[in-house]
Amino acid sequence: MPDRFVTISVDDGHVTDFRTAELLKRYGLQATFYIPARNPERSVMNAIQIRELASTFEIGAHTLNHAPLKSLPDSQAWMEISEGKRWLEDTIGKPALSFCYPRGKFNGSTPALVKKAGFLGARTCLYNLHTFPRDPFLWGVSTHAYSHSKAIQFRHAALEGNFLGMLHFVRTYNGATDWQQHFCYGLEHVDRHGGIAHLYLHSWEIDELGQWDRLESVFAAISQHKHFSKLTNGALFELWRIRNEHGRN
């Protein structure tokens, strides 16, 4: 039987992450929460709250200032990445192995900087992907818990050069624009063929849109797939490393 994985990642470290965490615990699910030290767009939970979340879930790095790295010179990007890692490890008292690019933005040199900082892997916002990547610093996702139009889906894929994701959007996800239906197609595909169903979300966005019931419904559906391995992003990154060492990627 093919390996089937499901993973969830939650970005930005807003205090509403605790509501997501409660739902995750209710359905026995793992997740990785990516938290910056500061975010000019919205508030970030304090150190005590971060440590509380870290007692149950993986916490990944999200730069020092939630900076979009694509437009930064390498020296500034390195500071954001390395100092963000240092701050997070000092806060939670354990290694931070997973990284997420703020807003999914990176350039040709950014992944190498993330690797140099000592992370195992990095999550992007490359949509409609459900396989192990060739490069562990370019992990894609199946679904963003936000209903993007078809035009936005295709534009995003074209700008990122994510042509495989564009193909999957049509063939695997049936052009679905409703995020809940979109992720259900991803789950069905992984159930049949193996791979990774990866849902990423912003708790603050779920809260603003009043979609907690929909998120809980998706978590309940995931929990019903008993034969799926439910892992953190970091556990998948480590699995990539092990498989690569044994020539399985």
- Where do the domains of the chain lie, and which CATH numbers do they carry? 4-245 (3.20.20.370)
- Each residue's pLDDT, cut to its tens digit, for the chain (249 residues) gives 579 999 999 999 999 999 999 999 999 999 999 999 999 999 999 999 999 999 999 999 999 999 999 999 999 999 999 999 999 999 999 999 999 999 999 999 999 999 999 999 999 999 999 999 999 999 999 999 999 999 999 999 999 999 999 999 999 999 999 999 999 999 999 999 999 999 999 999 999 999 999 999 999 999 999 999 999 999 999 999 999 987 755
pLDDT of amino acid 249? 52
* Angle (nearest 5°) at CA 84 between 139 and 249: 20
Q: Which of 203, 200, 211, 174 is nearest to 189 (CA)?
A: 174
62: left (phi over 0), alpha (psi -120 to 50) or beta: alpha
Q: Which pLDDT value is given to residue 94?
A: 96
**CA separation for the pair 192, 213 (Å, rounded):** 27
How much is the pTM? 0.97
What does the block give as tokens for 213? 């019931």
Q: Quote the tokens at residue 121.
A: 């892997």
Short-list 124, 120, 121, CA closest to 106: 124
Facing residues of 47 across strands? none
